[in-house]
């Protein structure tokens, strides 16, 4: 599994390196909710490594605390999945099991992916941490990166990220994941330039994904529809959604 392109791109300080194997039983002990989840961990994870622990003491970025969350350090991990694994659920389980925000580099067969997820205090259980949305890149092929993927990797170095505090730094990585998602639509990768534009970008991407899903569903319905009037209605709706999708692409373009 070739994790090197992403790990090297992060440009982690040597003092932060841990380089220890993480036993799978750690995940099994962290409140895995179902027997199926436990089987997935046992059967589909090859190995997990703790690569680095980013702390104020080894990188000079202050910790973050407010009423919603507390970021004292950021954990960088790699995980190797077996070929038959379904990564989405396993990635979520790993993010949930680690009490700190995680930069997770996962690999399966010839591809790797980067995922992050903000964490906050649970509203229902004092002292417990829960994850928010898991943000993940589409699978990357390290030996055959596209131009925007290479630009994305070049943007991940710690020296290029916001350093107000650990929350801002972690958000900087999440913003770059959103920019890569936009680049897959526009063909151009841009660095995030403000909190406002990053928030807007995420909203636009969510709308784009929704429209893509609706279009796929409607096109399937249109090909199966036998009534002419109904097929005409579906095609008109498809054209309207295609127009909305084109407008969103223009919004995403620099």
Q: Tell me which of 164 and 128 has the higher pLDDT.
A: 164
Reported confidence tier of residue 178, pLDDT bands at 50, 70, 90: very high
- CA dist 102 to 16, 34, 50, 98, 199, Å? 14, 22, 10, 7, 21
Q: Is the pLDDT of residue 236 over 80?
A: yes
What is the average pLDDT across 120-135?
85
Reported confidence tier of residue 195, pLDDT bands at 50, 70, 90: low
pLDDT of residue 206: 84
Among residues 151, 72, 61, 76, which one has the least CA distance to residue 106?
76
pLDDT of residue 201: 83
pLDDT of residue 103: 98
What is the average pLDDT across 145-151?
93
Q: Tell me which of 216 and 124 has the higher pLDDT.
A: 216
DSSP codes of every residue in 174-217: HHHHHHHHHHHHHS-------HHHHHHHHHHHHHHHHHHHHHHH
pTM for the whole structure: 0.86
Q: What are the pLDDT digits (tens) for 204-224?
A: 888 888 888 898 999 998 888
Reported confidence tier of residue 196, pLDDT bands at 50, 70, 90: low
Q: Is the pLDDT of residue 232 over 90?
A: no
CB distance 101 to 170 below 8 Å: yes
- CA dist 83 to 6, 48, 86, 110, 155, Å? 20, 15, 9, 10, 29
Q: Is the pLDDT of residue 140 over 90?
A: yes
CB distance 2 to 106 below 8 Å: no
- What's the chain's average pLDDT? 90
Q: What are the pLDDT digits (tens) for 62-81?
A: 999 999 999 999 999 999 99
Q: What are the pLDDT digits (tens) for 6-29?
A: 999 999 999 999 999 999 888 888
């Amino acid at each position: 599994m070739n994790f090197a392109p992403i790990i090297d791109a992060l440009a982690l300080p040597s003092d932060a390196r841990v380089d220890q194997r993480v036993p799978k039983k750690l995940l099994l002990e962290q409140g895995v909710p179902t027997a199926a989840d436990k089987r997935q961990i046992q059967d589909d994870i090859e190995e997990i490594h703790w690569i680095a622990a980013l702390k104020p003491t080894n990188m000079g970025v202050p910790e973050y605390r407010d009423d919603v969350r507390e970021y004292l350090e950021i954990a960088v991990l790699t995980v190797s999945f077996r070929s038959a694994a379904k990564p989405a659920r396993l990635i979520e389980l790993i993010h949930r099991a680690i009490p700190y925000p995680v930069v997770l580099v996962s690999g399966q067969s010839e591809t790797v992916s980067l995922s992050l997820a903000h964490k906050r205090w649970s509203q229902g259980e004092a002292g417990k941490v829960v994850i928010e949305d898991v943000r993940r890149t589409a699978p990357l092929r390290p030996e055959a990166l596209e131009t925007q993927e290479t630009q994305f990797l070049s943007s991940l170095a710690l020296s290029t990220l916001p350093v107000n505090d650990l929350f801002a730094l972690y958000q900087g990585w999440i913003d770059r994941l959103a920019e890569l998602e936009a680049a897959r639509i526009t063909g151009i990768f841009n660095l995030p330039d403000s909190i406002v534009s990053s928030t807007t970008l995420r909203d636009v991407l969510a709308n784009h994904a929704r429209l893509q899903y609706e279009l796929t569903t409607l096109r399937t319905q249109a090909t199966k529809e036998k009534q002419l009037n109904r097929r005409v209605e579906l095609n008109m709706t498809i054209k309207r959604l295609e127009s909305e999708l084109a407008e969103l692409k223009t919004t995403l373009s620099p």
